[in-house]
Structure 1
Amino acid sequence: MATNEKLPEYRLFIHPLDLHELRKDIWIDDPVSAKLTIHGKKYEVDIAYRGSHIRGFPKKSYQVSLYKPTTYRNANTFHLNAEYKDPSLMRNKLSFDFFNEIGCLAPQSRFVFLKVNGKNEGVYLELESVDDRFLANRGLPAGSIFYAVDGDANFSLMSDLDKEVKKSLAIGYELKCGAQEDTDHLHQMIIDINTISREDFEKEIVDYIDVDKYLLWLAGVVFTQNFDGFVHNYALYRNEKSGLYEIIPWDYDATWGRDVNGEEMRSDYLRITGFNTLTARILDSSTFRNQYKSLLQDIVNNQFTVEYLKPKIERMHASLRPYVLLDPYKKDSIDRFDKEPDYILNYIEERTAFIKREVELLD
Structure 2
Amino acid sequence: MVKSKIVYLCMTVLLLLFILLYTVLPNIGIETKNTEFSYENIIFNENKVTTVDIEIAEEDWQDMLDNAADEEIQQATITVNGKKVDNVGIRTKGNSSLTSVVNSDSNRYSLKVDFDYYDNTQSLYGLKKLNLNNNFSDTTLMREYISYELMEQMGLPTPAHSYMYVTVNGEDFGLYVGVEAVDETFLANQFGSNNGFLYKPDGVGSDLKYISDSIEDYTGIAVKTNESNIDESKLIEMIDAINNGGDIEKYIDVDEMLRYFAMNTALVSLDSYQGMMKHNYYLYEENGVFSIIPWDYNMAFGGFRGNGRMGGNMPNETSQANTEHPVNKEPQADNEQQPANARGAGMGMGMTGELMTDSAINFSITSPVSGASLEDRPLLNALLTNEEYRAQYEAYLDEIATKYLTESNIQEMTKKLAVLLTTYVEADPTKFSTTEEFLAGVEGENSLPEFAKQRSASILKQLSGELVVEAETQQEGGMPNFGDIPENGQMPDFNNMPEDFDSSKMPPMNEEMNKGERPNGMQPSDRNNGGFRGMPNGNKDMSATQDTTIDPQYLIVVAASCILLLIALVVVLKFNRRGRP
After superposition, residues 188-337 of structure 1 pair within 5 angstroms as 188-196=237-245, 201=246, 204-230=247-273, 231-240=278-287, 243-259=288-304, 261-263=350-352, 264=354, 265=357, 266-268=359-361, 270-272=363-365, 273-275=367-369, 276-330=377-431, 333-337=434-438
Partner of 1:163: none
Q: Secondary structure at the match of 2:296?
A: coil
Residues paired across the two proteins, number: 345
Partner of 1:148: 201
Give ranges in structure 1 of 5+ residues lacking alignment.
Answer: 159-165
Q: Secondary structure at the match of 1:137?
A: helix
Asked if 1:29 is matched to 2:78, the reply is no
TM-score (ref. length: structure 2):
0.56
How many angstroms does 1:171 deviate by?
3.0
Relative to total residues, which structure has the larger strand share, 1 or 2? 1
Q: Is the 8 A contact 2:408 2:449 kept in 1?
A: no
Superposed CA deviations along residues 269-320 of structure 1, whole A, max 9, x for unmatched, are 5322333211112111111111111121122111121122211111012211
In structure 2, the CA distance between the partners of 1:169 and 1:310, relative to structure 1 (3 Å rule), is: farther
| Alignment RMSD | 2.4
For 1:15, the aligned partner's letter is: A
- Identify which of 100, 106, 115 aligns with 2:152: 100
Q: Is the 8 A contact 1:306 1:348 kept in 2?
A: yes
Asked if 1:157 is matched to 2:197, the reply is no
TM-score (ref. length: structure 1):
0.88
Partner of 1:357: 461
Bigger Rg, which one: 2
Q: Is the 8 A contact 1:12 1:34 kept in 2?
A: yes
Q: Secondary structure at the match of 2:90?
A: strand
CA distance in 1, matches of 2:433, 2:70: 31
For 2:206, the aligned partner's letter is: A
For 1:148, the aligned partner's letter is: P
Give ranges in structure 2 of 5+ residues lacking alignment.
Answer: 1-45, 305-309, 311-349, 370-376, 468-581
Q: Is the 8 A contact 1:151 1:232 kept in 2?
A: no
CA distance in 2, matches of 1:174, 1:269: 34
For 1:188, the aligned partner's letter is: E
Superposed CA deviations along residues 160-200 of structure 1, whole A, max 9, x for unmatched, are xxxxxx9955232221112255375322321232122xxxx
Partner of 1:61: 110
Asked if 1:116 is matched to 2:116, the reply is no
How many angstroms does 1:30 deviate by?
2.5
CA distance in 2, matches of 1:341, 1:39: 27
User: Comparing both chains, which one has the higher relative contact order based on Cα–Cα distances under 8 Å and sequence gaps of 6 or more?
Assistant: 2
How many angstroms does 1:117 deviate by?
1.4
Superposed CA deviations along residues 86-140 of structure 1, whole A, max 9, x for unmatched, are 1111111110110010111111101010001121111011100111100222352
Asked if 1:338 is matched to 2:439, the reply is yes
Partner of 1:178: 226
